[in-house]
A and B are shown apart, each in its own frame.
Chain A
C-alpha cells in the first residue's frame, strides 16, 4: 500500500476545510498527515472557510444533529465519510450550587467529561484524529500518552478494527494501564517520564506508517477539543460564560477551547459579547505555564515534572506559549496549586456535587478555589469548570481507603458502631 504519511487528501466537498497553515509563519499546506511546519517547525492548524460555515450552519441544524460531538461537524476537520465514533461528547453541563456556595460564587457550572466512552475528554480528540486517520488510509493507531489518551486510542482503534500501539511511562496508574490493554492493542511502557515517551514517539512517527494521533495527526486531533466550548455554549442556551477554568498539560486543550468560543462568534452562533476569560490550572509539581504567567515571561521554560497529577505531567508543553497568549489576551490567569491541595480538590468536588474526578480535576477545582480567593474570578462571573477525567483511574491519590467502620453482621454491633461513627 502507499505510505499514508505521504498522501494528500482533498477535503470532503461538504466540509469547510480548506487546508493546513503554520501558526507561527503562516505557510500554507495541503491536507496531509503532518504536524510541524517544514520551515520553522511551528504547529500546523486546520483552516476553515468560516464565511461558508456562517452561511450554511444554523443553531437549528446543530440541534437536530446527533447527541455527540459530531453535531458540530461543520466546524470539525471532516475529510471523508469515514468516521470513528463511539459516542464521544455531548456530556452533561451541570450547575454546581453547593460548590459555588462554598467558594462564594453566584453561578458555577461543571462540564464533566468523565461521562465520555473512556471517561475522559480524550475521546473527543481521538474520534477526530482516527476519523482523519481512516481517511488517509492508516491501519495502525498510535500515541504517546499519560494514560487517558492511551485509553481513548485503544478503544477507538478497537471499534474501528484498527491495530493500536500506545506508548506510556511505565509507572502509570495501574487503572490507566488496565483500561488500555483490555482493548487488545499493544502497550509499550517506557522506563522514563512522559517527556521521554514523547521524544521517542516523535522520532518513531517519522519512521513508521502509523497514525500517531498527537503527532502526525495532531492538526486534526487538536480540533476535537473545540467541541467542549461548543457544547458549553449550546447547553447554556447559545451563549458563552464569563469565565472558564481549564487544566493545562501541553496547553492544547486550553488553546482550542478558547478558539472554539471565538469560532462560535465568527460564524454567528452566539451573540458577539465580551470574550470569555480563559483561566488555566496546573499543579506546582509541574507548572511551567503557571510559572511563566506569574513571572510575566513570554515563553515557557521547560521543567522536569514531579506531580501526582500524571495526566498533567508534561514538562515541555508544546502549546504552552499559545496557552499563555490566550489566557493573557482574554483577561484570565493561571493558577499553580500545591501538590497537597490536589486530593482536597478531588474531595471538595465529590463532597459538594457528587462528582468523582481524577487528579487533574482535583487540580482544576483547587485552581478555581485559588483564582476566586485571589480575585482573578469575581463572585458574579458565571464560571464553567472543565472536569476532564474520572476519579476511578487515579484511586492512589486518595491514599489507603477503608470503610468508616467494620463490624460483625449483627444489628447490635451495627448500632453501636454507628453511634461511634456518627457522633
Chain B
C-alpha cells in the first residue's frame, strides 16, 4: 500500500482527509487509483495527460520531475506527496 498526502486544495474530494491510501506501480497508476476512490481528482492533477504546471509530485521526498515523471515507479510503502508550487524566497 502507498500513502498519499493530499493538499488542502483537494481535501474537498477526500472528505477532508489529509492522507489517503492508494495502490499502483507508477505515479500514473496511483493517480488512476485515486480517481476510482475519489472521482474528479485526476483532472485536478493532470491536463491532457500531463502533470499540471503548478502541481508537484514527490515520491519519498524526491521531486518526480527529477525521476521519470508520471512513469516514476512507486515502491510499496512509499509516501507520495501532492504539493502546489509556491513562490520564492
- B-binding residues in A (CB < 8 A): 24, 35-43, 143-146, 148-149, 194-199, 201-203, 205-207, 214-215, 218, 221-222, 249-252, 299, 301-302, 304, 314, 316-319, 321
Contacts and interface: CB of A to CB of B under 8 A. Distances in A.
Most buried by A among B44, B85, B87: B87
B52 A41 contact: yes
A36 B45 CA distance: 13
Chain B interface bracket (under 10, 10 to 19, 20 to 34, 35 or more) = 20 to 34
A222 B89 CA distance: 11
Contacts of A304: 66
Interface of B: 5, 7-9, 12, 18, 44, 47, 52-56, 58, 61, 63, 65-66, 81, 83-89
Given A42-B54, A43-B54, A201 B7 contact: no
Given A39-B44, A43-B54, A214 B87 contact: yes
Contacts of B65: 301-302, 316
Contacts of A196: 61
Contact of B85 (A38, A144, A316): A316
A109 B58 CA distance: 43
Contacts of A24: 53-54
Given A36-B9, A36-B54, A206-B18, A41 B88 contact: no
A252 B85 CA distance: 12
Contacts of B87: 35, 43, 214-215, 218, 221-222, 250, 252, 318-319
B86 A198 contact: yes
Given A36-B54, A40-B52, A206-B18, A194 B89 contact: yes
Most buried by B among A36, A39, A302: A36
14 contacts: A35-B87, A42-B53, A148-B89, A198-B88, A199-B63, A199-B81, A203-B5, A214-B87, A215-B87, A221-B87, A250-B89, A301-B65, A314-B88, A321-B53
A166 B56 CA distance: 22
B83 A202 contact: yes
B89 A145 contact: yes
Contacts of B7: 36, 202-203, 206
Contacts of B88: 146, 194, 198, 214, 249-252, 314, 317-319
Nearest to A312: B88
A36 B44 contact: no
B83 A199 contact: yes
